[in-house]
Chain A
Amino acid sequence: ETGVTQSPTHLIKTRGQQVTLRCSSQSGHNTVSWYQQALGQGPQFIFQYYREEENGRGNFPPRFSGLQFPNYSSELNVNALELDDSALYLCASGGGGMYQETQYFGPGTRLLVL
């Protein structure tokens, strides 16, 4: 039990639609990161937010965007969905360890794009 929750657990969308995924971090965690995990692969870093500002981004197009709120919740928005966006989307909140490297993952949202 990491204290990080995500909703919904599963989602089915069609190509071209938009989707919003939500994450609730542990209280006091100022950092939240989002990852995409395709079937059979390791997670790929999408972006990270620190105190409501994006402070790092992986190789994902601008149609992947995010928000972080003062109440330790965050969102991942994906526009113009493509079939390849089908994956498990994970959020991870940062515990603020010495190297700012302790992160706690939620259970993920499994997105299927048809």
Chain B
Amino acid sequence: TQLLEQSPQFLSIQEGENLTVYCNSSSVFSSLQWYRQEPGEGPVLLVTVVTGGEVKKLKRLTFQFGDARKDSSLHITAAQPGDTGLYLCAGIRGTYKYIFGTGTRLKVLA
């Protein structure tokens, strides 16, 4: 059972466009993380959000944790080809259990 649904599944956009990826669940998480994974590599942590309603910015990436700590979004401004990859959200329950989302595969065309 996949507890974290991401949308869209696939996204192909032109360089310079903006985009938003959503991560939704019916369950509450103590915190939520976003990762980017490139072919042949493991996921790399981008950010951890902990507080409901929290917004974090990492250069052109903006992450938001829902007020109820059940959902999150990732917004990328002025996407670049280097942003291409698989974006994964992961909800955390307790001290050790990570539940990953279904993933969003992003391709940014030059």
Q: Which residues of A contact B (CB under 8 A)?
A: 2, 4, 31, 33, 35, 40-45, 48, 50, 55-56, 58, 90, 92, 99-108
Contacts and interface: CB of A to CB of B under 8 A. Distances in A.
Nearest to B48: A101
B27 to A, nearest CB: 14
A99 B97 contact: no
B99 to A, nearest CB: 7
B96 A55 contact: yes
Interface stretch (B13-21, B60-68, B74-82, B100-108): B100-108
Nearest to B32: A101
Contacts of B99: 45
B42 A2 contact: yes
Interface string B3-45: 0101000000000000000000000001101010000111111
A41 B102 contact: yes
Chain B: interface residue count, which band?
Answer: 20 to 34
Given A33-B96, A99-B50, A107 B103 contact: no
Contacts of A56: 94, 96-97
A42 B44 contact: no
A57 B98 CA distance: 10
Contact of A48 (B6, B33, B96): B96
Contacts of B4: 42
B55 interface: no
Taking each of A103, A106, A108, which has the highest tally of chain B beta carbons within 10 Å of its own beta carbon? Answer: A103
B88 A42 contact: yes
A92 B31 CA distance: 18
B96 A42 contact: no
Given A42-B102, A99-B31, A4 B96 contact: no
Given A43-B100, A56-B97, A92 B50 contact: no
Contacts of A40: 103
A45 B41 contact: no
Contacts of B90: 42
B42 A4 contact: yes
Contacts of B100: 35, 42-45
